[in-house]
Structure 1
Amino acid sequence: MSETNEAGAATGHEVLVTTPSFGQHASEPWEVFEAAGVRARTASAAHPLTERQLIEEAEGVKALVVGLDPVTAAVLHAAPGLTVVAKHGVGTDNIDLAAAAAQGVRVVNAPGSNTTAVADMTMALLLAAVRRIVPAHASVTAGRWDRFFGPELAGRTLGIVGFGRIGQAVARRARGFDMDLIAYDPHLPAAVFAEQGVPAVTLDELIAAADVITLHLPMPSGGPLLGRAELAAMKPGSCVINTARGGLVDEDALAELLHSGHLAAAGIDVFATEPPAGNPLLTAPNAVLTPHCAAFTQQANAAMGSTVAADVVRVLRGEEPVHAVV
């Protein structure tokens, strides 16, 4: 039986944290739970847990804080005492929202907490890819002095696919490099593009016009947004940056087009399967690859964890969460 302390926090409730990045570089998220009298424990299995592992580890908990773990209908049904699922991040495509709503389980996330970090990483990947920073570094450390040519960003067209918080933050940074901007987002009204001074275009128009395409949308149903045909339709010598979801891009086709030289470079932080063992991008030329770490800054880690922890506590208290998805 849980109790309620003088501050109104429900004590004695247990939270399972499955993602190792929660509070990894910040104590504040853990302190939110401690101050509320909530017991938080980490999963024993490695992240991301499988459906079966999550069912086994979630027994008896009132709340889940997850990363990429599949919170399916089966997981939800196996945890009848579950009250809230918190996504340590923004995208909730790994959570069955309909099943959660049907079971009366609240789902919360942390919108905006990683915007700056991901926008910074997007520009870092772009610069590293087109200016070939990684092979240049390897050349110097190997005792050589190879010179690598690449394009300037000024005057190049950046096509932003997904124009929410992160897409808009990327646009602000790209303006500092004197890039021309266009954007596609089927979920936003025209007024948003007008307010930001960025022309709204169709996806086909963006693919045809962009020198660089950067992705900032959740995973769509029905396959990659940039499939083989879309990638082949990009300008010769153009570049793809993906800090959103691995499944947004046909990775086999992207690797082939990098090998053929049709695409000049790619900066990839996310993969359809992680870690990407055997992925053709691992051997593709001019591909800068990072381990899904775009949101990994100390500031984002503190903000993201504290945001979801505070909403978990609110739900456990019977209050309305601030960042409710369901």
Structure 2
Amino acid sequence: MSEQGRPRILVTPRSLTMGAHPDLAPLRMAGFEIVTATPGQLPGEAELMRLLPDCVGWLAGIEPVSAAVIAAASRLQVVSRNGTGIDNLPVEEMRRRGIRIATAGAANAPGVAELALALILAGLRHIPLGDRGIRGGDWPRRRGRELRDRRVAVIGCGAIGGEVARLLVALGAEVVGFDPKPRDLGLAPDHFRWVELDAALATADIITLHCPLQPGGAPLLDARRLAALRPQAIIVNTARAGLIDEAAMLDALERGAVEAYATDVYAEEPPRDLALATHERVISTSHIGGFTDESVARATRIAVDNLLAVLAPKVAHAG
């Protein structure tokens, strides 16, 4: 409890720690004190272990969470993610402790899908090359390619991947998809079809990743699969850094086997090893897929509602 006797909720997403977000107000109105991590930074283990022990709820971001952090959170009842992924959480330890886990569903799907599309177009038209060249006093003109009639493989067709597929179809691309659990995306079969993973990877001009990590954490795109790609392949990753074998990707870029790698995700954020992030064939963005006004607001509202669904009845009963 705080000095005022109000139960505490920790808020750690970088999109919410830079200033008071209006969609956090219902937590205060329900009688909770909001505690935030260092503004604009992913909290590390030491900071989490300092902040969490007195908190009953946690509105969490993508920060890695160890079992030791959960062990130190003696009062924690619920963790509410402002996104869909939970592979940064020690799920088994949390279940053992009876700590609830809630996610924000498809809140950031439009924002991430639009960024993926922007990265595809930037790779096809060499936009970063032109921007850097003109700023440096040059006039680079590398011939690009058009998206229309290009084959794009969407790997993972949940809320985000499905939205990417719909955007691509609307722009005239030939879209194939892979997902362990295929579902109806509302797309006509002459515009979209399901294929097996290796067939999707080996026959596409563009590959865009929207899937979780593989069991055990092995990269999805390893040296073998990168070697099997079509010439001039463009790869977009707005999902997980661990889906890519970074050493194999660097080698493929150096050899020209991959035309461009566009990524919004990194093993460490911000990355200290810049060999891949700053390569001339890499387009890098700073994990901004869901960082739009609309996505942040949607995700925050859902995450707050999830916290209140678990905690508010208990506070009312205690009162």
Asked if the contact 2:207/2:236 (under 8 Å) is kept, the reply is yes
Q: SS where residue 16 of structure 2 aligns?
A: coil
Q: For 2:299, give the aligned amino acid.
A: M
Distance (whole Å) between structure 1 residues aligned to residue 310 and residue 42 of structure 2: 24
User: What's the CA shift for 1:257?
Assistant: 0.9
Post-superposition Cα deviations, 1:257-297, rounded to whole Å, max 9, x if no partner, equal: 11111111121110122212223213423211011111110
Match of 1:7 in 2: none
51-60 or 165-174, which moves further after superposition?
51-60
Match of 2:76 in 1: 82
Q: SS where residue 277 of structure 2 aligns?
A: helix
Asked if the contact 1:228/1:250 (under 8 Å) is kept, the reply is yes
Match of 1:322 in 2: none
Distance (whole Å) between structure 1 residues aligned to residue 246 and residue 125 of structure 2: 22
Match of 2:233 in 1: 238
Distance (whole Å) between structure 2 residues aligned to residue 58 and residue 90 of structure 1: 22
The one of 196, 199, 212 aligned to 1:202: 196
Asked if the contact 1:25/1:301 (under 8 Å) is kept, the reply is no
Q: Higher relative contact order at CA 8 Å, sep ≥6: structure 1 or structure 2?
A: 1
| Unaligned runs of at least 5 residues, structure 2 | 315-319
Distance (whole Å) between structure 2 residues aligned to residue 67 and residue 196 of structure 1: 36
Distance (whole Å) between structure 1 residues aligned to residue 273 and residue 60 of structure 2: 26
The one of 47, 51, 59 aligned to 2:45: 51
1:25–1:127: structure 2 CA closer, same or farther, 3 Å change rule?
Answer: farther
User: What's the CA shift for 1:149?
Assistant: 0.9
Distance (whole Å) between structure 2 residues aligned to residue 169 and residue 108 of structure 1: 22
| Unaligned runs of at least 5 residues, structure 1 | 3-10, 320-326
User: What's the CA shift for 1:46?
Assistant: 7.2
Match of 1:296 in 2: 291
Match of 1:115 in 2: 109
Distance (whole Å) between structure 1 residues aligned to residue 230 and residue 65 of structure 2: 39
- What is the root-mean-square deviation in Å for CA atoms of aligned residues? 2.2
1:94–1:224: structure 2 CA closer, same or farther, 3 Å change rule?
Answer: same
1:195–1:99: structure 2 CA closer, same or farther, 3 Å change rule?
Answer: farther
Q: SS where residue 300 of structure 2 aligns?
A: helix
Post-superposition Cα deviations, 1:217-257, rounded to whole Å, max 9, x if no partner, equal: 11223311111111111111111000001111111211221
Q: SS where residue 178 of structure 1 aligns?
A: coil
Match of 1:265 in 2: 260
1:149–1:185: structure 2 CA closer, same or farther, 3 Å change rule?
Answer: same
Asked if the contact 1:45/1:53 (under 8 Å) is kept, the reply is no
Distance (whole Å) between structure 2 residues aligned to residue 283 and residue 124 of structure 1: 19
User: What's the CA shift for 1:41?
Assistant: 1.2
Distance (whole Å) between structure 1 residues aligned to residue 188 and residue 241 of structure 2: 27
Distance (whole Å) between structure 2 residues aligned to residue 150 and residue 26 of structure 1: 43
Asked if the contact 1:158/1:211 (under 8 Å) is kept, the reply is yes
| Match runs of 1:57-72 below 5 Å | 57-72=51-66
Match of 2:280 in 1: 285
1:192 matched to 2:187? The reply is no
1:285–1:141: structure 2 CA closer, same or farther, 3 Å change rule?
Answer: closer
Q: For 1:296, give the aligned amino acid.
A: F
Q: SS where residue 282 of structure 1 aligns?
A: coil
User: What's the CA shift for 1:127?
Assistant: 0.8
The one of 291, 300, 317 aligned to 1:305: 300
1:129 matched to 2:123? The reply is yes
The one of 94, 97, 105 aligned to 2:91: 97
- TM, length-normalised to structure 1: 0.88
Distance (whole Å) between structure 2 residues aligned to residue 303 and residue 107 of structure 1: 18
1:154–1:26: structure 2 CA closer, same or farther, 3 Å change rule?
Answer: farther
Asked if the contact 1:26/1:301 (under 8 Å) is kept, the reply is no
Asked if the contact 2:30/2:312 (under 8 Å) is kept, the reply is no
Q: For 1:302, give the aligned amino acid.
A: A
Asked if the contact 1:208/1:233 (under 8 Å) is kept, the reply is yes
Q: For 1:231, give the aligned amino acid.
A: L
Distance (whole Å) between structure 2 residues aligned to residue 126 and residue 195 of structure 1: 20
Distance (whole Å) between structure 2 residues aligned to residue 200 and residue 98 of structure 1: 33
Distance (whole Å) between structure 1 residues aligned to residue 130 and residue 255 of structure 2: 21
User: What's the CA shift for 1:144?
Assistant: 2.8
Distance (whole Å) between structure 1 residues aligned to residue 278 and residue 8 of structure 2: 44
